[in-house]
Chains A and B, each alone.
Chain A
């Protein structure tokens, strides 16, 4: 942990190794603007942050296992008391479970939203509607808080920051349902497509499948996260381009450990070898984890707030010339 630097000075003095100027005016001494990062960090640590992740895909694609593997704890709803063997629901249900995860002094309130029943019926027409409705309801909740006269200091954020869509590893191409879902929802939520149970495919098959999937997504006009149109600058674009070219990530999840080369690793033990989840030669789980948690977590929240939420807000405000109360308890909102 770095300490704030030596006190500022307005007198021009020979600058040590701390002073630097890039563009703008030449600094005549050290001011200490860069400590803002440290201040933000401290605040975040104290306040903690919310992260809401939704998983969508039909039953048996390893959604719960992947979440548990990502957050190295039993965060899926299956471990929150719902039995594994429950029947497939007749309509899509939305079930959310929250956990507080703490690491290095930082607290994250992680909410996992599961969507059992998606794609499992014989007739899956409109099975995306309950999901779309849920996402919009969270936007509506936030909007209501925002337009209140007396607002909460920190509005509880239940908006879905990221939706991981599980593509079945058929090896052929996307299914109609996959395209329908992603087309309809890519404008209200950040969609991260992943290829589930990737240990079904050889490396060659995986590459071919990914290429086909990317092409189909492009042809269908589906913009998955990170969306090209939101790249801030060249650096962003180049980083994100690299990521977009390897997406969808082919993942394997596991909550079991095995001994490989003297180390204990998470994996799946088959009769012909052990699939190591965190081995980048075996699957892209590590890439997904780094992308989701270690580099783009904050960006996911920002895009949700600045873009998806704003789009929803603008639409709502333009409807019938104002905000109408539609809460179930009938409270009147102030007119905008």
Chain B
């Protein structure tokens, strides 16, 4: 058992997280707080004049994180310029293009002959930042989430939540949940936990579900609060502690994203969003093939050579092994998480 664990741990995990939302909502700060990194240290903030001719960009940062022997290759995909212009029609297009590109790449790799070292660059989760200054979802929020709901796991967040009082947060969350329902937006749903889980876990799961969308605060600075040095924000009227559950839902988000649901996010990306893309792609190509005889797609619809029975069995066995290892790892992650508490 130990050998299997070591093998997949050696390989490491990869996770791609996208952050989307207008500038100034604290996206970079939140990512730094979540992963204890300083990804945007030398970033130059553009002023309004410089941003006039800017369109939505897609930027990528990759960082390797290691904790207790477990390696994580984390890719953060940022979307600077989103929603910043006067006219934001179709500002989501570069985002969907990027997501589709990653699907396409994976599709090619998957259909290729050498699948030993497929890189999974598909976007596993998209954190969408909703400004806390509104009264609910704005037209741009609704449009973006509706367009992305079938391509990626959308997790809406209330950004810069320290400008809202507790009752305002409660009302805002209710309002958002209502509107998300009404507009039929399919955001990422936490799976129901198994009936054989212990009460503590179930309670935690319930609390998690009831506090969505999470109201988050991030910070790049350390302050002194209650005798401890913590990540926080210092105001003349008090100190906000990022990791204090009474102050914001940062801890809940981190728990959900990293400690309990990272795997589920990857699964759903693979089993739903990618499969949707793949089916659509195959359909389109098939109909295109019928339409014109010239087939330009390098992706083989029919495999060029069918693998022999022996190779097929080997592939099946490896698949089984991988599945078992993944299950084992999930249990280990859970144990590690319980030990942390």
Residues of chain A within 8 A (CB-CB) of B88 are 122-124
Distance from A219 Cβ to chain B, minimum over Cβ atoms (Å) = 7
Residues of chain B within 8 A (CB-CB) of A172 are 23-24, 45
The answer, yes or no, to whether B162 is at the interface (CB within 8 Å) is yes
CB contact under 8 A between A60 and B135, given known A202-B233, A272-B239, A282-B236: yes
- A168 contacts which of B47, B86, B131, B165 (Cβ < 8 Å)? B131
Interchain CB contact under 8 A, A219 and B140: no
Residues of chain A within 8 A (CB-CB) of B239 are 272-273
Residues of chain A within 8 A (CB-CB) of B164 are 270
The answer, yes or no, to whether A200 is at the interface (CB within 8 Å) is yes
The answer, yes or no, to whether A173 is at the interface (CB within 8 Å) is yes
Binds A, one of B48-56, B65-73, B194-202: B48-56
Closest to B135 in A: A60
By secondary structure, the A interface counts as loop
The answer, yes or no, to whether A121 is at the interface (CB within 8 Å) is yes
Residues of chain B within 8 A (CB-CB) of A169 are 24, 133, 163
A172, A268, A281 interface centre (most CB from chain B within 10 Å) = A172
Closest to B141 in A: A122
By secondary structure, the B interface counts as loop
The answer, yes or no, to whether A223 is at the interface (CB within 8 Å) is no
Interchain CB contact under 8 A, B238 and A176: no
Interchain CB contact under 8 A, B160 and A212: no
- A88 contacts which of B23, B139, B143, B234 (Cβ < 8 Å)? B139
- A200 contacts which of B140, B160, B236 (Cβ < 8 Å)? B160
Interface residues of A in 80-123 (CB under 8 A from B): 84-85, 88, 120-123
The answer, yes or no, to whether A135 is at the interface (CB within 8 Å) is no
Interchain CB contact under 8 A, A180 and B86: yes
CA of A157 to CA of B319 in the docked complex: distance in angstroms?
80
Residues of chain A within 8 A (CB-CB) of B51 are 176
A125, A171, A200, A281 interface centre (most CB from chain B within 10 Å) = A200
CB contact under 8 A between A281 and B236, given known A219-B49, A271-B246: yes
Interchain CB contact under 8 A, B24 and A168: yes
CB contact under 8 A between A59 and B162, given known A179-B49, A272-B240: no
- A59 contacts which of B23, B46, B135, B233 (Cβ < 8 Å)? B135
Q: How many A-B residue pairs have CB under 8 A?
A: 123
Assign chain B's interface to a size class.
Answer: 35 or more
Distance from A273 Cβ to chain B, minimum over Cβ atoms (Å) = 3
CA of A274 to CA of B166 in the docked complex: distance in angstroms?
12
Closest to B91 in A: A122
Contact digits for B19-60, partner A, Cβ 8 Å, 1 yes 0 no? 000111100000000000000000001111101100000000
The answer, yes or no, to whether B146 is at the interface (CB within 8 Å) is no
Interchain CB contact under 8 A, B84 and A84: no
CB contact under 8 A between A177 and B236, given known A121-B139, A216-B49: no
Interchain CB contact under 8 A, B235 and A199: yes
CA of A272 to CA of B230 in the docked complex: distance in angstroms?
14
The answer, yes or no, to whether B257 is at the interface (CB within 8 Å) is no
Residues of chain A within 8 A (CB-CB) of B246 are 271
Interchain CB contact under 8 A, A125 and B87: yes
Interchain CB contact under 8 A, B237 and A122: no
Residues of chain A within 8 A (CB-CB) of B131 are 60, 168
Interchain CB contact under 8 A, B235 and A202: yes
Interchain CB contact under 8 A, B166 and A270: yes
The answer, yes or no, to whether A163 is at the interface (CB within 8 Å) is no
CB contact under 8 A between A170 and B236, given known A176-B52, A199-B163, A269-B165: no
Contact digits for B60-96, partner A, Cβ 8 Å, 1 yes 0 no? 0000000000000000000000001111110100000
The answer, yes or no, to whether B247 is at the interface (CB within 8 Å) is yes
Distance from A208 Cβ to chain B, minimum over Cβ atoms (Å) = 10
Closest to A205 in B: B233
Distance from B336 Cβ to chain A, minimum over Cβ atoms (Å) = 30
The answer, yes or no, to whether A45 is at the interface (CB within 8 Å) is no
Interchain CB contact under 8 A, B165 and A272: no
Interface residues of A in 189-214 (CB under 8 A from B): 196-197, 199-200, 202-203, 212
The answer, yes or no, to whether B134 is at the interface (CB within 8 Å) is yes
Closest to B217 in A: A200
9 A-B pairs with least C-beta separation:
A170-B24, A273-B238, A272-B238, A273-B237, A60-B134, A200-B163, A60-B133, A172-B24, A174-B48
Q: List 17 A-B contacts (CB under 8 A).
A: A88-B138, A122-B139, A171-B24, A172-B24, A173-B46, A175-B48, A179-B49, A199-B163, A202-B234, A203-B236, A212-B47, A270-B164, A271-B247, A272-B237, A273-B235, A273-B237, A282-B236
A-B contacts besides A125-B87, A172-B24, 14 pairs, CB < 8 Å: A59-B134, A60-B133, A88-B139, A122-B88, A123-B88, A173-B45, A173-B46, A179-B48, A179-B49, A180-B86, A200-B162, A272-B240, A276-B237, A282-B237
